[in-house]
Amino acid sequence: MKIKLSHLMIASSMMLASCSETIDENPSDPENGTGLPPVETNQANTNYAPAFAGQTRVNGVKTATPYKNTVLSSSLSSPWGITSLPDGRLLITEKGGNMRIATATGTLSGPITGLPAVNSTGQGGLLGVCVDPQFSSNRMIYWVFSENVAGGNQTSVAKGKLSASETTVENVSVIYRANPAANVGSLHYGGRILFDNTGNLMISTGERSDLSTRPLAQSVTAALGKVVRITTNGQPAAGNPTFTQSGALPELYSIGHRNPQGLAIHPVTGELWESEHGPRGGDEINRVQGGANYGWPTITYGIEYSGGVIGNGIQQQTGMQQPVYYWDPVISPSGITFYKGNNIPEWQNNLFVAALSGKHIVRLVINNNVVTGEERLLADQNQRFRDITQGTDSALYAVTDEGKLFRISRQ
């Protein structure tokens, strides 16, 4: 899902050269993914067979164009979401409840006030953020947060207008709550938000992890473990799919998700793609189609953290969608973005995935909705990458749990 700027980071501009790393990779075949072995070499947690060739451990690729990464800032506090403002600056959420603006050189604003309180325990907090397509004229921003409510806590969506001074958000309102609230811990909120091509909001919600709430991912009467599609006023969007079961919520777009922390629109097809945390194995990339069921917890390529099978231990079932790609062992995929810039042409329409436990950025080459190559970027930085976006300058910008803001661009 951008306050008068502080000059606390002004000295950092003198250090950027020492924070930059140039990477000049040897080319393989970035178009079809051949020529290199798979990037994953560790043993899988399971012996489950993929449903089709290339669904996991596809051949590796390497970027041929020389590129570099630059640490613009190391002063963020557990950043969670990042998005571009029309003027090239970046709007960033911090898990503890703050929102900040960063310039393209890494200077950070002070905290933006006016936001509702968040429950930042565990995986909760101030999560995904996006700006209105008409932000230049209406200055509206939208975000997801974990909210304390009667009966527990839940994934909620709010909106407000960024003041002209950029110090506060005005006229804030909570426009949507993913019911039911759950008092079962502080995990699996989902939390990404973006605009689709029709001007409606797409939001990912988690199933809250607990064995008591896990089955709600399959229930159309609950908003947990879903992708929902709503208007900017929080109402079900026109044209949403119809789920035939009794009591189906009209805001539902897809069901059967575990903990989806990444959403992105394909720049050519306009389709929604999603990244999803699996349990022990079974992290997924999905091409999300309206009305579809993505299977959790009935089918999965992972197992329980204890080592036991999940449900009946099956990976395929009629009426449930297969992931386009999955990882075992996990990389913990969080934010994702498609590259649609011209700075590095071979990245065009590739999907970039921020990996937490994997501590790298994944580049997936995709042809006709099939992953044909995988690359790991910035693996030497030893950072838990939380979110990634493309800037107005065609560079990629990524934030990490450790508080860093990276810029990735052509050398």
Each residue's pLDDT tens digit, 57-66: 999 999 999 9
Element (H, E) at 80: strand 79-84
Q: For residue 152, tell me if it sits in a domain.
A: yes
What residues are paired with 192 via a beta bridge? none
Q: For residue 67, tell me if it sits in a domain.
A: yes
Which is nearest to 255 in space by CA: 278, 224, 286, 213?
Answer: 224
pLDDT for 29 equals 45
Q: What is the per-residue pLDDT across 115-135, written as a single tens digit (0 to 9) for each? A: 999 999 999 999 999 999 999
Q: What is the per-residue pLDDT across 241-300, written as a single tens digit (0 to 9) for each? A: 999 999 999 999 999 999 999 999 999 999 999 999 999 999 999 999 999 999 999 999
Q: Do the beta carbons of residue 322 and residue 316 sit within 8 Å?
A: yes
Q: Do the beta carbons of residue 217 and residue 207 sit within 8 Å?
A: yes
Q: What is the per-residue pLDDT across 373-405, written as a single tens digit (0 to 9) for each? A: 999 999 999 999 999 999 999 999 999 999 999
Q: What is the CATH number of the domain that holds 404?
A: 2.120.10.30
Q: For residue 124, tell me if it sits in a domain.
A: yes
Q: For residue 1, tell me if it sits in a domain.
A: no
What residues are paired with 254 via a beta bridge? 227
Which is nearest to 84 in space by CA: 320, 399, 367, 384?
Answer: 399
Output the average pLDDT for the chain.
Answer: 93
Q: Tell me, yes or no, if 277 is annotated catalytic.
A: no
Q: For residue 2, tell me if it sits in a domain.
A: no
Q: Do the beta carbons of residue 193 and residue 387 sit within 8 Å?
A: no
Q: How confident is the model at residue 35 (pLDDT cuts 50, 70, 90)?
A: confident
Q: Phi, psi at residue 230, to the nearest 5°?
A: -135, 165
Q: What is the per-residue pLDDT across 334-374, written as a single tens digit (0 to 9) for each? A: 999 999 998 999 999 999 999 999 999 999 999 999 999 99
Secondary structure (3-state) at 63: coil
Q: For residue 242, tell me if it sits in a domain.
A: yes
Q: Do the beta carbons of residue 190 and residue 257 sit within 8 Å?
A: yes
Q: Which domain holds residue 120?
A: 10-410
Q: What is the per-residue pLDDT across 195-206, written as a single tens digit (0 to 9) for each? A: 999 999 999 999
State how many domains the chain has.
Answer: 1
Catalytic residue among 188, 257, 277, 360: 188
Q: What is the per-residue pLDDT across 161-204, written as a single tens digit (0 to 9) for each? A: 999 999 999 999 999 999 999 999 999 999 999 999 999 999 99
Q: For residue 318, tell me if it sits in a domain.
A: yes
Element (H, E) at 153: strand 152-162
Measure the CA angle with vertex 340, ends 334 and 346; round to 5°: 95
Q: For residue 48, tell me if it sits in a domain.
A: yes
